[in-house]
């Protein structure tokens, strides 16, 4: 059981990231493990702590030197911008280490379940967290999620329907406060709530009510989400062929992440490869027909992270700006995958200048968690490291470098692709409640509009605005 308050979350942003040499990087107690424990940890060059920090600082400054146009429509035509935040939402489902690693000298610790089970949305369920739920008119007690703010919000003054539920101070009622960081991840969370609620409504028509309706709606929501994550999101970032190969590796026991041992999240994934998504974030996006280009960060309406930011009027997301929707030409795309991140991600509050840089945080976490270098992992997997072969890069940086050099930044390369697809499939395989474990041949055919079910079908079923005509003011 853990208690998370604003102070500890804020310290996630501001606290120094230092782990003592005696820390164990992974174990069943921490919820994390190393995939390649036999490889030496990557460390930045320098004999003293200060020299190593200086070399990290240089690396992260180098990554940030990438001025860009405010709205880049043609960046990575292979990956629409919405997938960036689908990835962020998925990252929040799998791992969360809210503690400032180091202050207590402890190893990283995972406060999420190691599964694609939407625990960051369902929390501990209606019995233990009843304030997230409300009785459905006929479905019985607490089968549907509370949505929107049913009271006049302090400083805001209005009822907001298409938003997360909030208390009077505007604080979102969500199990994981990271899902309220910015408008896009917030609206994806909302879509999951609405998807679940629509499933309950459909079940009611078949006289399935009460706790049974809750359980069945949760299963339907989770399985559709899992399907879209593997067959749509993963296919976009690693390519369809690599997904097929990952299924083969999983079946034949050749996955880098297999076995029946306790499911732990690999540090090479959470503190390494899966942070690749930080490079996809654009500086500004158009949210709908009247927002103009807006920045997701640093702070919506002058309020710091996690301190309650109700949806601003006219900020409802119209999803054709973020996914390719038939008949619409409004799609924006993600940044190319390369060792560079947007200026936007230099804005975190911190006691020291470098703590405001997400790149610096990623490098430091990677070093303190004992994650091996990308080059060593490449060799261990049987790949020739990208040039120069004498270089030694932290894994998350290497994953971006190979994506740019081998795939022109359009999708992940062999090391990033292998780790991410094996871990995601492995986590699904090991979860006794996942569709892959319980019904490997299950398909969400009923909800698919085209040949297959994609993330925008999930949003559409949830009732999110897909084109301008769906927006509340049109
Ligand atoms: C605007 C977008 C985003 C912001 C502001 C953001 C911010 C952050 C911050 C502040 C951290 C904690 C850094 C630390 O001290 O270690 C973090 C961690 C992380 N981020 Fe992001 N991120 C964004 C998008 C993404 C995306 C698109 C992905 C992947 C596709 C991603 C994957 C991760 C992962 C895996 C972690 C580690 C989570 C944990 O185990 O605690 N993030 N992010």
Tens digits of residue pLDDT in 50-88: 888 888 888 888 886 555 544 454 489 999 999 999 999
Q: How confident is the model at residue 6 (pLDDT cuts 50, 70, 90)?
A: very low
**92 Cβ below 6 A of ligand 1:** no
- Domain residues for 97? 41-470
Distance 178 CA to ligand 1 centre (A): 9
Is residue 156 pLDDT above 50, yes or no? no
Task: Please report the atom of ligand 1 found closest to the CA of residue 84.
Answer: 27
Give yes or no for residue 284 CB within 6 A of ligand 1.
no
**Most confident residue range from 243-247, 347-351, 391-395:** 243-247
149 within some domain: yes
The answer to the question of residue 160 being in a domain is: yes
Distance separating alpha carbons of residues 164 and 161, to the nearest angstrom: 8
Nearest-5° angle of CA 232, CA 325, CA 239?
Answer: 25
What is residue 98's DSSP assignment? -
With a 6 Å cutoff on the Cβ, whether 280 touches ligand 1 is yes
364 CB within 6 A, ligand 1? no
Tell me the pTM. 0.90
Distance of CA 155 to the CA centre of its chain: 30
CA of 97 relative to ligand 1 center, distance in Å: 11
- Among protein residues, the one with the nearest Cα to ligand 1's atom 41 is 96
- State whether the beta carbon of 87 lies less than 6 angstroms from ligand 1: yes
Cα 356 to ligand 1 centroid, rounded to whole Å: 13
Residue 194 located in a structural domain: yes
pLDDT (average), residues 446-464: 85
Q: What is the mean pLDDT of the chain?
A: 83
Does 34 fall in a domain? no
- Tell whether 2 is covered by a domain: no
Does residue 344 sit within a domain?
yes
Please report, for the domain that includes residue 306, its CATH number: 1.10.640.10
Q: Is the CB of 120 under 6 A from ligand 1?
A: no
pLDDT at 64: 65
Cα–Cα distance between 137 and 262 in angstroms, integer?
41
Report which secondary-structure segment, H or E, holds 212: helix 210-228
Residues 110-149 have pLDDT tens digits of 889 999 999 999 999 988 998 899 865 565 667 899 998 6
DSSP β-bridge partners for residue 166 = 172
Query: Residue 17 domain-assigned?
Result: no
Cis peptide bond prior to 310, omega within 30° of 0: no
Residue 15 resides in a domain: no
- Contact present, 275 and 362 (Cβ < 8 Å): yes
To the nearest whole percent, how much of the chain has pLDDT over 90?
Answer: 53
Q: How far apart are the first and last CA of the chain?
A: 45
CB of 97 shorter than 6 A to ligand 1: yes
Dihedral, 240, 245, 247, 252 alpha carbons, nearest 10: 170
Q: What is the DSSP string of 79-95?
A: EETHHHHHHHHHHHHH-
Query: Is residue 153's pLDDT more than 80?
Result: no
What percentage of the chain carries pLDDT values higher than 70?
79
Domain count, the chain: 1
């Amino acid at each position: 059981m853990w208690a998370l308050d604003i102070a500890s979350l804020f310290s996630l942003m501001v606290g120094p990231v230092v782990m003592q040499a005696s820390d164990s990087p992974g174990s069943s107690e921490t919820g994390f493990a190393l995939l390649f424990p036999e490889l030496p940890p990557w460390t930045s060059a320098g004999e003293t702590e200060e020299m190593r920090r200086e070399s990290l600082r240089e690396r992260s400054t180098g990554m940030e030197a990438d001025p860009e146009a405010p709205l880049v429509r043609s960046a990575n035509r292979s990956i629409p911008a919405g997938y960036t935040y689908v990835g962020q939402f998925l990252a929040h489902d799998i791992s969360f280490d809210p503690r400032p690693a180091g202050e207590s000298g402890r190893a990283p610790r995972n406060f999420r379940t190691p599964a694609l089970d939407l625990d960051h949305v369902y929390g501990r369920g209606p019995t233990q967290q009843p304030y997230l739920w409300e009785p459905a008119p006929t479905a019985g007690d607490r089968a549907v999620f509370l949505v929107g703010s049913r009271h006049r919000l302090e400083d805001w003054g209005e009822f907001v329907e298409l938003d997360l539920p909030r208390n009077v101070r505007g604080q979102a009622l969500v199990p994981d406060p990271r899902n309220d960081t910015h408008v896009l991840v917030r609206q994806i969370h909302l879509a999951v709530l609405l998807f679940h609620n629509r499933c309950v409504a459909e079940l009611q028509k078949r006289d399935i009510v009460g706790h049974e309706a809750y359980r069945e709606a949760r299963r339907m929501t989770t399985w559709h989400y899992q399907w879209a994550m593997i067959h749509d999101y993963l296919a976009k970032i690693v390519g369809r062929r690599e997904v097929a190969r990952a299924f083969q590796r999983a079946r034949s026991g050749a996955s880098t992440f297999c076995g029946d041992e306790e499911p732990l999240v690999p540090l090479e994934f959470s503190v390494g490869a899966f942070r690749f998504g930080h490079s996809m974030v654009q500086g500004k996006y158009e949210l709908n027909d009247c927002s103009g280009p807006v920045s997701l960060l640093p702070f919506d309406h002058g309020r710091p992270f996690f301190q309650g930011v109700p949806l601003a009027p006219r900020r409802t997301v119209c999803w054709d700006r973020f996914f390719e929707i038939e008949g619409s030409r409004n799609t924006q795309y993600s940044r190319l995958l390369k060792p560079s991140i947007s200026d936007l991600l230099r804005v975190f509050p911190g006691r020291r200048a470098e703590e405001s840089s997400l790149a610096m945080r990623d490098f430091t976490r990677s070093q303190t968690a004992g994650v091996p270098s990308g080059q060593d992992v490449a060799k261990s997997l049987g790949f020739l490291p990208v040039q120069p072969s004498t270089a030694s890069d932290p894994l998350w940086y290497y994953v971006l470098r190979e994506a740019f050099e081998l795939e022109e930044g359009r999708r992940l390369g062999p090391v990033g692709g292998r780790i991410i697809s094996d871990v995601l499939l492995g986590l699904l395989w090991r979860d006794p409640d996942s569709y892959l474990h319980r019904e490997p041949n299950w398909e969400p055919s009923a909800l698919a509009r085209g040949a297959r079910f994609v993330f925008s079908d999930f949003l559409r079923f949830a009732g999110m605005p897909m084109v301008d005509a769906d927006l509340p003011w049109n």
